[in-house]
Amino acid sequence: MKPARGSPWIFASILLLCGIALAGGGVELALLGGSTYYLVTGVALIASAVLLWRGNRWGMWLYLLAVVYTVVWSFWEIGMDGWALASRIGVPLLLALYFLLPRVRRGLQ
Predicted confidence (pLDDT) at residue 4 exceeds the cutoff of 70: no
Lowest mean pLDDT among 4-8, 13-17, 38-42, 95-99: 4-8
DSSP for 41-106 reads HHHHHHHHHHHHHTT-THHHHHHHHHHHHHHHHHHHHHTT-HHHHHHHHHHHHHHHGGGGSHHHHH
Give the pLDDT confidence of 11-61 residue by residue, as tens digits.
999 999 999 999 999 999 999 999 999 999 999 999 999 999 999 999 999
pTM of the model: 0.90
Q: Give residue limits of the domains in the chain.
A: 9-101
